[in-house]
Structure 1
Amino acid sequence: MNPSSITVSRAGAVATVTLARPGVRNAFDAATIAALHAAFIELGAQAQVRVIVLAAEGPAFCAGADLNWMRAMAGYSEAENREDAMQLARMLRAVAECPKPVIARVQGDAFGGGVGLVAACDLAAAAAPARFCLSEVKLGLIPATIAPYVLRAMGARAAQRYTLTAEVFSAATAQQHGLVHEVAADAAQLDAQVQQWCAALQAASPQALAAAKRLLADVAARHVNEALLADTAERIAQARASDDGREGIAAFLQRRKPSWANT
């Protein structure tokens, strides 16, 4: 990891990954993308980590692509641009597919790829003054690598509007369209919401949370047919037979906390 790009800290079972380039509004460059990818792969593999919070320093959450990085890309060949884009795509997938729940703490503006980063997280809370913008078309670009996550979060119709118009929209509008789940009046309320979610997630089975994330990602766009019925039946059968499934049912019947709630 590049320590100038991000910081990683842990308090108990909650890890916090913080974008640490406030001087450039936490914009992406190659080092930041690589550091985020590495952090989410590493934290996702650590059993002692139960929840990951994605936060940022300074007034902005993430301004998208760094200008100096964009200048460098202007001289890239098509193949170099493709590989560079793949690094961003792989980082977003590492966030979205992390087996641990990921919470976005959006204290300020998220533009361009920053919107995609918020959308890739499982839960998102934003401060009321935060603004959002899918700004790519103004630069002659398209929000290609972030599109799967933006579409999943906002739905096709809202994503179509804000992708084509590049309008700046408020945290309240982001909540209306599903990009963020909660809007907080100030930093204290924002932290309180994040802490509430962290507590709720730590009360759930780690195995079940990871399986539930895979389930939601896999069935979201599928038609309800015999194959889907068989798939979902197999998943719940495996969950019931898992260690956490057996422990959870036993704890419920015995009116006690399950073992993971004590860790």
Structure 2
Amino acid sequence: MPTPYVKQHTHDGISTIEFYHPEHNSLPGDLLASLVEAINHAGENDEVKVVILKSGGDRTFCAGASFQELISINDAATGKVFFSGFANVINAMRKCPKFIIGRIQGKTVGGGVGLASATDFCMATKYASIKLSELNVGIGPFVVGPAVQRKLGLSGMSQIAIDANTFYSADWALQKGLYNQVFDTTQDLDEAVQKFAENLCNYNPEAMAEMKRTFWAGTEDWDTLLAERAAISGRLVLSEFTKETLKRFK
């Protein structure tokens, strides 16, 4: 099987961060940590003016957290560390002083919806439907919830969190504000993302950094909030309901 990776490439002011995992671009803890490192590096690099976040492959943007790691959790402390992985990435994206463009080529689930929600401008294909499936295994989208709610509103976020078996279309995500543009093909998407990023490179980096700070005002407590949410998920994953459900999935 292909080796999982996080790659970062910077050219002409654009830092492209790409992640990949053979299990539908799910994200185990080591890849999440590498994403944090890459995002921080882009934020600190004066040569970078804009960031593109993407995943490898054609069909799935991100299947969420690693199922193999999820089923191996045996105590609350380990559970909190596990669920803190996406919290750390979302907080890194929030604090990064550069605009982050999301390139969503296909379906995205759970934590992947959180990543898409934490971008500053999100572009997708018509195949990029979304689902918050956490309730299916006895937990909930607690860690990604604030990021998703910030984009979809409480009504939209609660709708997909409760209706945990349903994929919501890219058009629905566009109407709700998660996606800013939706394209027919991946080629159209890639051309639009590249053109948009190149255009942003012509703007004043200081102005963009101040704009981003303004857009994310009110989220300053997320370091604490998302850690608290990770602890909730870490506790629930040990419940008898979730243990029995994971056995069936396994």
TM-score range, shorter chain: 0.7 to 0.9
Runs of 4+ in 1 over 6 A off after TM superposition: none
* CA shift digits 1:172-218 (9 cap, x unpaired): 11101111110001122101221232133112211111111111211
| Identical pairs, percent | 29
Aligned match of 1:24: 23
**CA positional deviation for 1:89:** 0.8
| More divergent stretch after superposition (178-187 vs 192-201) | 192-201
Matches within 5 A, 1:205-220: 205-218=204-217
Counterpart-to-counterpart distance in 2, 1:220 and 1:20: 29
Tell me if the contact between 1:27 and 1:62 (Cα under 8 Å) persists in the aligned partners: yes
Counterpart-to-counterpart distance in 2, 1:111 and 1:97: 23
Name the amino acid aligned to 2:188.
Answer: Q
Name the amino acid aligned to 2:187.
Answer: A
**CA positional deviation for 1:31:** 0.7
Q: CA RMSD for the aligned pairs? A: 1.6
| More divergent stretch after superposition (186-195 vs 150-159) | 186-195
Show structure 1 runs of 5+ residues with no match: 222-263
**CA positional deviation for 1:220:** 8.4
Name the amino acid aligned to 1:8.
Answer: Q
Tell me if the contact between 1:128 and 1:171 (Cα under 8 Å) persists in the aligned partners: yes
* CA shift digits 1:99-143 (9 cap, x unpaired): 111011001111000000000000111111122101111111111
Matches within 5 A, 1:49-64: 49-58=48-57, 59-64=59-64
Q: Does the residue aligned with 2:72 lie in a helix, a strand or coil?
A: helix
Give the structure with higher Rg (CA).
1
Aligned match of 1:241: none
Q: Does the residue aligned with 2:210 lie in a helix, a strand or coil?
A: helix
Matches within 5 A, 1:236-251: none
Aligned match of 2:12: 12
Tell me if the contact between 1:5 and 1:31 (Cα under 8 Å) persists in the aligned partners: no
Counterpart-to-counterpart distance in 1, 2:194 and 2:33: 28
So what's the TM-score if we normalise by structure 2? 0.82
Name the amino acid aligned to 2:131.
Answer: C
Name the amino acid aligned to 1:102.
Answer: I
Aligned residue-pair number: 216
Counterpart-to-counterpart distance in 2, 1:178 and 1:193: 18
| More divergent stretch after superposition (63-72 vs 81-90) | 81-90
**CA positional deviation for 1:85:** 2.3
Counterpart-to-counterpart distance in 1, 2:219 and 2:25: 31
Show structure 2 runs of 5+ residues with no match: 221-250
The structure whose RCO (Cα within 8 Å, separation 6+) is larger is 2
Aligned match of 1:89: 87
Aligned match of 1:144: 142
